[in-house]
Amino acid sequence: MSEPVIEVRNVTRIYALGDVQMRALDGANLTIQRGEFVSIMGSSGSGKSTLMNILGCLDRPTSGTYVFEGVDTAQLPEPALGRIRSERIGFVFQSFNLLARTSALENVALPLFYASSGPARRTERFARAREALRFVGLAQRERNSPGQLSGGQQQRVAIARALISGPAILLADEPTGNLDTRTSHEIMEMLRSLNRD
């Protein structure tokens, strides 16, 4: 069996709120193999977002280990974690996080401006962004700003942006929470088809 993409071992995350310590995670364990489609479910306040932040290298555990593609992230300095975030992890958020006065094309191309291994030329970045928008069925909407798109279209732009750098893993934090039922099913089917490909 190949090496897991993600290996979380006995991870704890404690936040200090004044004199009180809040234990958001308590001994979490998780292994995800390449190609797996995994849902993390639980009630509000159960630590799902905390775990997602750790998996996305946005936060570090208080104790335990998080190994991403064979590398113990606890040993990495912030610039190395930033490279992992920009080049190896794609993020899709419930609130889309698109820049309001920026076109769909520019929103999708944005991660390539910051990736050290991304294309240096603007024309190549936009060519890749156009291909990503075509992949999610929005080739005709590249000039539209987020305000000119439906919620489902905005989420498709967010998915295209998450895929633009060819990440090893796609993390989606409640990607359908702001969408109607029909659009939610479409977005989930898109994510499942990405996993099958």
Q: Are 103 and 175 in the same domain?
A: yes
Residue 60 vs residue 115, higher pLDDT: 60
Prediction pTM value: 0.82
1 part of a folded domain: no
Is 45 within a domain? yes
Strand partners, 28: 11
Residue 81 lies in a domain: no
Q: Is the sign of the CA dihedral 125, 129, 130, 132 positive or negative? A: positive
Confidence of residue 69 (pLDDT cuts 50, 70, 90): very high
Q: What is the CATH number of the domain that holds 159?
A: 3.40.50.300
In the predicted structure, residue 87 carries a pLDDT above the cut 80? yes
Question: 171 has which bridge partners?
Answer: 91
Question: Residue 125 in contact with residue 109, Cβ under 8 Å?
Answer: yes
Contact of 96 with 154, CB cutoff 8 Å: yes
Residue 70 · residue 3 · CB < 8 Å: yes
**Same domain, yes or no, for 59 and 102?**
no
Go through 88-119 and write b for each residue having 16 or more CB atoms within 10 A of its CB, e for each that does not: bbbbbbbebebeeeebbbbbbbbbbeebeebe
Specify whether 33 is located in the same domain as 94: no
pLDDT value at 175 more than 90: no
Of 99 and 45, the one with more pLDDT: 99
Q: What is the pLDDT of residue 32?
A: 95
Average pLDDT over residues 52-59: 93
For residues 132 and 179, state if they share a domain: yes
Output the average pLDDT for the chain.
Answer: 88
Does the pLDDT of residue 57 top 90, yes or no?
Answer: yes
Q: Residues in the chain, how many?
A: 197
pLDDT band at 193 (very low <50, low <70, confident <90, very high): confident
At residue 89's C-alpha, the angle toward residues 83 and 93, to 5°, is 120
Last residue in a domain, options 23, 47, 76:
76
Say whether both 190 and 105 belong to one domain. Answer: yes
